[in-house]
Amino acid sequence: MPYVHPEQDPAERRRIDPAIEMEGISKAFGSVQANRDVRFTVRHGEIHALLGENGSGKSTLMNILSGIYQPDAGTIRLRGREVVFRSPRDSIELGIGMVHQHFKLVEPMTASENVAMGTGDGLSRSRAKAAERIRDYAARFGMPVDPDKKVADMSVGEKQSVEILKVLYRGADILVLDEPTAVLTPQEIEHLFAILRRMREEGASIVFISHKLHEVLDLCDRVTVLRKGETVGTVDVAGTTALRLIEMMVGRAVDLSIERPPVGADGPCLSVRGLTVRDALGVAKLDGVSFDLAHGEILGVAGLAGSGQKELCESIAGLVHPQSGAILFHERDIVGRSPREIIRMGISMSFIPEDRLGMGLVASMDIADNIMLKDYALYGGFLLDRGSARRKAQSIVDRLAISTPSIFHPVRKLSGGNIQKVILGREIDLSPKLLVTAYAVRGLDIHSSYTIYHLLNEQKRKGVAILYVGEDLDVLLELCDRVMVLCGGRVTGIVDARTSRKEEIGLLMTGVTGDAPVPAGAGEGKA
Amino acid sequence: METGFAVMAALFLASAVRISVPLLVGTLGETVTERAGHLNLGVEGMMMLGASAGFLVAVRTDSVLLALLAAILGSGAGALLYAVLTVTFRANQVVTGLALTIFGTGVANTLGKTVVGENPPPAVQAFFALKPLHADLSGIRDVPVLGPVAGFVDAAFLQHNVYVYGAVALALLLAWFLRRTRAGLHLRAIGENPAAADASGIRVIAGKYAAILAGGMMCGLAGLYMPLVHIQTWTDNITGGRGWIVVALVIFVRWDPLKATLGALLFGALAIVGFLLQAYPQLSGSILFSQYVIDMYPYLMTLLALVLANAGRKKGWQGPGALSVPYFREER
């Protein structure tokens, strides 16, 4: 199937049948009703946003469209014809391409192998052909991808390009992108948008899932909002505002300002001096990092992915032993102490990795057990105190409004946002004196993000010192007292968040202090 | 003296080649299975099933072809059972494989009762007495250097039967299949990341069934070598734990059919050393030649293979990414 239909004028195609019509779609997973009577229509040649809070059923709906899930009820029509998908193969054959939130790529294989995989071409010949077509598309849409590079060695941005190339290679003219910007840097996002606009011009229909409203308003033509698995409505982007969309998502008006309580007066908490961490190959991941953090202060950490944020957090938590430098907590050096000692001293860390899974929690255990996982060591005795863990779990679930059938539900089956709330809730529950949190709102919807900001501010008022590693510069400037910028493992500046501008930080992120700029994704290993 | 040593060495290598055949074929079979993400610990059981079914048919019909077919069907049946349980019902692969080994060994020993002590019939014996690559070297025997070298190579590697060369050919074919064909790419993708393969339009379930069946059938052919060619009669537990060496060898050779030929040869050579210790107790001068210790060799070698495979290995590819993880498309 050809990807471009130059003989058909986009305006002409808008008048005939819509590209996708999904009607009355329902899907339940056990007792959880993920979709209920959902209606979703996408016209030809438009970018259509699908909005909703975490767990509102967006991913489920798109997995139904791509043949991964079978709906319990409802019909799907493509270009006016009713279709039934028994497998992803059926959906691919009808020109639907999905770029999944968690990339579906085979890591030890090259880009061209991943692209050629599953297509009808014979291999030896098709590998060369795939490589050639990859270069072709890559040039056309401005995606720099080396066909012979292994996916495991790629940055997140490159992996996403491979996913998009895979879809294009299969000749898809309906493209579904599930939270494509969640893991990208601002530059990569701009790039992606240029590619998507280019595809729209060539007649493709695109479904775009995102939590970031300014992206939706910037890129999309129409928006459909889901709430708790049901369709709220579809509106034109031209006639709506961010506030209006949030109201549709949440079901009520939401205050979008982040408060910033003044810094407490309890004195210094953490002093880091000349911290240097090298990886196994001897490359410096942190290079002479020094900063101070006071009680009741939120210090933001900004930087491109892989600038040393992970190493900084892990050094403080005792998971990584620095080559040189000191980490003074209440004037005692904690370098060389075990993670357990450090937890006992009152330091908590939560780190949300890029894939948002696989760190901090045991996925198949339930919420209560995961909460016990960290604090059981603080009590003595041979037997576990399950009762108090249960009460603690219930109070965390209630306080953070975690949506789960019960505290005995395996964490793996919660949506991403709820998983993150469990992690943060557990760390806060330990009443730390220092809270290190990295990417706490990664992939979270607006409502959940604000819940997390409020939680952090609550801790700040209690005098907790908070190190907040973040991605969204607007939030860093609104939430934090000061922002430290990392570039290639060095501190390129520590600025006052009240008086600084985004552009200033953006420049520091690329190392404008005289050092060589570091490319996006440099030094980014497997999380 | 020097020629004497060369002759000894050639004979040693030739024995190692012969004894490595079931290890090689079994390793190839298990490699195919594991490349699809399934750890099948039923290798020993499938080897026994193939050995008994194939040998029974050989004794009754005196046909090599029917014997091979019976071995394939016998072990294939075991593999099918494993596939239904682990692919369709997503049962625990380790438990299912162990059960298959116990079950297959029991069935095979029962079937074999009827042919204990019988030898392969004449046509089968004649077929495996053929040495298709054996060269006539009388013309160059006296040429310096070339003559002795050719003689050594011939004695060590060219005086074998069809089974041996078939095994090597299978290894080459599989290496080519995995690296160069579309189906091979799809097989690797399924074993690495079935969700990604599925999303790319690859038929994951069908691919898993095909790989498990093909792998099991190869194990059956590995087993059949024992009664039909190697020992040339039937005894209980005729594969003698070789299935376990295979499981370790697959890891030792890093799921690579070409390395499997060398790995199997190495472990064949180690087995010969074991037999020599038994035959010449003065070599070891200790309890090492006790039958009980000899019986331990397969398991000791399994451990040795695992130690060698894991020593100092911390980087690079660690085997199929989804090995022994059941795949369910609608998993959340």
Checking if the pLDDT of A442 tops 90, the result is: no
- Please tell me the total number of residues recorded for chain A in this structure: 527
Question: What pLDDT shows up at residue A354?
Answer: 59
- B155-168: pLDDT as tens digits: 899 999 999 999 99
Residue A123 and residue B332: Cβ atoms within 8 Å? no
Taking the CA of residue B319 and the nearest CA in chain A, the distance in Å comes to 10
In B, minimum Cα distance to A109 occurs at B189
The residues of B whose Cβ lies within 8 A of any Cβ of A are 180-182, 184-186, 188-189, 192-193, 195-203, 317, 321, 329-330, 332
CA B268 to centroid of chain Cα atoms: 11
- Distance, in Å, from the CA atom of A424 to the CA atom of A420, rounded to the nearest integer, reads 6
Percent of the residues in chain A that have a pLDDT greater than 70, as a whole number: 89
In A, minimum Cα distance to B332 occurs at A413
Query: At A317, which CATH number?
Result: 3.40.50.300
Q: Which residues of A touch B181 (CB under 8 A)?
A: 122-123
Question: What pLDDT shows up at residue A523?
Answer: 38
| CB-closest option in A66, A88, A122 to B182 | A122
Per domain, the residue ranges of chain B are 2-240
Q: Which residues of A touch B327 (CB under 8 A)?
A: none
- Distance, in Å, from the CA atom of A154 to the CA atom of A525, rounded to the nearest integer, reads 9
pLDDT band, residue A359 (cuts 50/70/90): low
In A, minimum Cα distance to B328 occurs at A68
DSSP 8-state symbol, A214: H
Residue B197 and residue A93: Cβ atoms within 8 Å? no
Question: What pLDDT shows up at residue B314?
Answer: 56
Task: Out of A206-210, A219-223, B219-223, B285-289, pick the least confident.
Answer: B285-289
| CB-closest option in B189, B193, B329 to A68 | B329
pLDDT band, residue A31 (cuts 50/70/90): confident
Mutate to test the interface with A, among B179, B181, B185 (most CBs of A within 10 A): B185
Checking if the pLDDT of B33 tops 60, the result is: yes
Residue A108 and residue B186: Cβ atoms within 8 Å? no
Residue A20 lies in a domain: no
Checking if the pLDDT of A518 tops 70, the result is: no
What residues have CB less than 8 Å from B215, skipping those under 6 apart? B29, B30, B31, B32, B33, B34, B36, B40, B79
pLDDT band, residue B50 (cuts 50/70/90): very high
Question: What pLDDT shows up at residue A305?
Answer: 75
Q: Which residues of B touch A114 (CB under 8 A)?
A: 196, 200
pLDDT band, residue A357 (cuts 50/70/90): low
Average confidence (pLDDT) over B35-54: 97
Question: What pLDDT shows up at residue B188?
Answer: 95
Residue A319 lies in a domain: yes
Two tokens, residue A402:
């975690």
Taking the CA of residue A122 and the nearest CA in chain B, the distance in Å comes to 5
Residue labelled with tokens 């005792």: A318
| CB-closest option in B186, B329, B332 to A413 | B332
- Collapsed DSSP state (helix, strand, coil) of residue A375: helix
- B216-268: pLDDT as tens digits: 999 999 999 999 999 999 999 999 999 999 999 999 899 999 999 999 999 99
Residue B192 and residue A106: Cβ atoms within 8 Å? yes
Question: What pLDDT shows up at residue B274?
Answer: 76
Question: What pLDDT shows up at residue A380?
Answer: 66
Residue B193 and residue A107: Cβ atoms within 8 Å? yes
Q: Which residues of A touch B196 (CB under 8 A)?
A: 103-106, 114
The residues of A whose Cβ lies within 8 A of any Cβ of B are 29, 66, 68-70, 87-89, 92-93, 98, 100, 103-109, 113-114, 116-119, 121-124, 126, 166, 170, 412-413
Two tokens, residue A125:
């010949």
Residue A107 and residue B197: Cβ atoms within 8 Å? no
Q: Which residues of A touch B184 (CB under 8 A)?
A: 123
Question: What pLDDT shows up at residue B198?
Answer: 93
Which structural domain, as residue segments, surrounds residue A483?
268-354+432-509
Mutate to test the interface with B, among A33, A117, A124, A526 (most CBs of B within 10 A): A117
Checking if the pLDDT of A2 tops 50, the result is: no
Among candidates B251, B260, B263, B238, which has minimal Cα distance to B307? B251
Structurally, chain A folds into a number of domains equal to 1
Average confidence (pLDDT) over A483-505: 90
The pTM of the full predicted model, rounded to 2 decimals, is 0.80
Residue A117 and residue B203: Cβ atoms within 8 Å? no
Checking if the pLDDT of A113 tops 60, the result is: yes
Question: What pLDDT shows up at residue A122?
Answer: 54
Is A263 within 8 Å of A296 (Cβ atoms)?
Answer: yes
Question: What pLDDT shows up at residue B140?
Answer: 83
Question: What pLDDT shows up at residue A170?
Answer: 87
Question: What pLDDT shows up at residue A312?
Answer: 92
Task: Out of A359-363, A416-420, B178-182, pick the least confident.
Answer: A359-363
Residue B193 and residue A69: Cβ atoms within 8 Å? no
Is A311 within 8 Å of A270 (Cβ atoms)?
Answer: no
Residue A104 and residue B200: Cβ atoms within 8 Å? yes
Taking the CA of residue A108 and the nearest CA in chain B, the distance in Å comes to 7
Residue A104 and residue B199: Cβ atoms within 8 Å? yes
Checking if the pLDDT of A9 tops 70, the result is: no
Taking the CA of residue A255 and the nearest CA in chain B, the distance in Å comes to 33
Q: Which residues of A touch B330 (CB under 8 A)?
A: 29, 68-70
Residue A48 lies in a domain: no
- B114-165: pLDDT as tens digits: 999 999 999 999 999 999 988 888 888 788 888 888 889 998 999 999 999 9
pLDDT band, residue A522 (cuts 50/70/90): very low
CA–CA distance from A391 to each of A239, A289, A369, A395, A430 (Å)? Answer: 47, 41, 12, 6, 14
What residues have CB less than 8 Å from A37, skipping those under 6 apart? A24, A25, A26, A74, A230, A231
Q: According to the per-residue pLDDT averaged within each range, which of A273-277, A381-385, B303-307, B327-331 is highest? A: A273-277
User: Interface pTM (ipTM) of the complex?
Assistant: 0.85
- Distance, in Å, from the CA atom of A475 to the CA atom of B6, rounded to the nearest integer, reads 78
Q: What is the mean pLDDT of chain A?
A: 84
Question: What pLDDT shows up at residue A526?
Answer: 35
E strand residue ranges, A245-396: 268-278, 284-294, 298-302, 324-329, 332-333, 347-351
- B186-195: pLDDT as tens digits: 999 999 999 9
Question: What pLDDT shows up at residue A16?
Answer: 66
**Other Cβ atoms closer than 10 A to A283:** 11
pLDDT band, residue A201 (cuts 50/70/90): very high
Residue labelled with tokens 């937890």: A343
| CB-closest option in A69, A88, A93 to B199 | A88
